[in-house]
Amino acid sequence: MTQKIEQSQRQERVAAWNRRAECDLAAFQNSPKQTYQAEKARDRKLCANLEEAIRRSGLQDGMTVSFHHAFRGGDLTVNMVMDVIAKMGFKNLTLASSSLSDCHAPLVEHIRQGVVTRIYTSGLRGPLAEEISRGLLAEPVQIHSHGGRVHLVQSGELNIDVAFLGVPSCDEFGNANGYTGKACCGSLGYAMVDADNAKQVVMLTEELLPYPHNPASIEQDQVDLIVKVDRVGDAAKIGAGATRMTTNPRELLIARSAADVIVNSGYFKEGFSMQTGTGGASLAVTRFLEDKMRSRDIRADFALGGITATMVDLHEKGLIRKLLDVQSFDSHAAQSLARNPNHIEISANQYANWGSKGASVDRLDVVVLSALEIDTQFNVNVLTGSDGVLRGASGGHCDTAIASALSIIVAPLVRGRIPTLVDNVLTCITPGSSVDILVTDHGIAVNPARPELAETSAGSGH
């Protein structure tokens, strides 16, 4: 009796499996080798030109296209791709670039012609920013932080249909990094997010290298199509503008004061971590920390964010153990990625996405950031001028300020005849609750929410 029951149960299980196999499971089919190799040709990703790549990507009206800004003011990819897209007749596109700069002024005409109708970006500068500030776009620009962009993409609020990623070089399967080739831009931290999440990834490259190209920041299983172009960017322009190293005496004075504040803050100790944002004074702080680190025999465990030549110098002198690089701010930093094993490339997700399982900003001790305006409640504006015109970028400002143990804002009290310290900022990017200390050319101010810092700052002599 028991044997019959077991046999019956076995027959029922087999029948159930067969029913599922008929409905859900693809049957094995013997595919001829020639057919497989024809369908999976080794050069199948290569496109003769950009038009072919766009056509094969499946781009349609109303879709979202994305770009990265590793080349900053030297980017050539956005304009090149959008010009071809416009000529092909596409309309009503959403442009989602990790940031936009002065060099993207040609987008103005594409907006006027209805090619681009929505924009997501971290920042806007130059003629494009001025025209949008005057109402060129029917819909408001969506401004996000660097970490916020990743969350938008991963949550599905921003769906990238086709990502166009410019790289110095790659192989015929799409393995690429940002530091091999003539247009050496360094870290591809922002592009890595698009490669991970876009439905189609089109790689634009200046040079095709033998397979397999390694190390690969973007890997072959993320890339759909590849097109070789003359130029994707001018690497010489990466270190200009907001990422320049200043020689301005006032900015150097502010930077020196900020370094003193850090030393007396209680966070300046063996194994501390640091980041400096864009802007002359904030980037210059690193210079003044070197002597203080040597005299006190202190080494930093890591420096984070946009990496500069000064940080690379301290790393190679043994004063900063590791560099976590989401974007290389100059050619020295870009080249360092290739030669220094502890100069580590990270994605924007690893850098500052508050929704990730582990953002590096959550391990940050000290961050030094700039400001266009700061008010009496310590709210910071880094996006618009006093006239309301877009002229900056959110970047990682609010991401790092809230996560770091000590956030320092550096800014002159007055720029030209325009005050930096105001009653109320015009545009709040980083709320005052995230800011700890303001350092100016006329002294410092400590957020009342951090009374312990007022005592340590008094010890710095300011």
Structure tokens at 355: 């929704």
CB 271 within 8 A of CB 300: yes
What is the predicted pLDDT for the residue at 1?
Answer: 58
Structure tokens at 319: 């004063």
**Class of the CATH domain delimited by 241-458:** alpha beta
User: Could you tell me the CA-to-CA distances from 96 to 76, 102, 374 in Å, in that order?
Assistant: 16, 16, 28
Q: What is the mean pLDDT of residues 14-29?
A: 66
Mean pLDDT score across all residues of the chain = 94
What is the predicted pLDDT for the residue at 282?
Answer: 78
CA–CA dist 102, 99 (Å, integer): 11
| pLDDT tens-digit readout, 244-271 | 667 888 999 999 999 999 999 999 999 9
Q: What is the mean pLDDT of residues 42-66?
A: 98
Superfamily of the domain at 46-237? Glutaconate Coenzyme A-transferase (3.40.1080.10)
What is the predicted pLDDT for the residue at 39?
Answer: 86
What is the predicted pLDDT for the residue at 99?
Answer: 98
Q: Are 46-237 and 241-458 the same fold in CATH?
A: yes
Structure tokens at 279: 């802007």
CA end-to-end distance (rounded Å), the chain:
94
CA 205 to the chain's CA centroid: 19
CA–CA dist 281, 244 (Å, integer): 10
CA–CA dist 454, 450 (Å, integer): 7
The residue extents of the domains of the chain are 46-237, 241-458
CA–CA dist 401, 432 (Å, integer): 10
Q: Which amino acid is at 242?
A: A
What is the predicted pLDDT for the residue at 262?
Answer: 97
Range in 26-35, 59-68, 253-262, 450-459 with the lowest mean pLDDT:
26-35
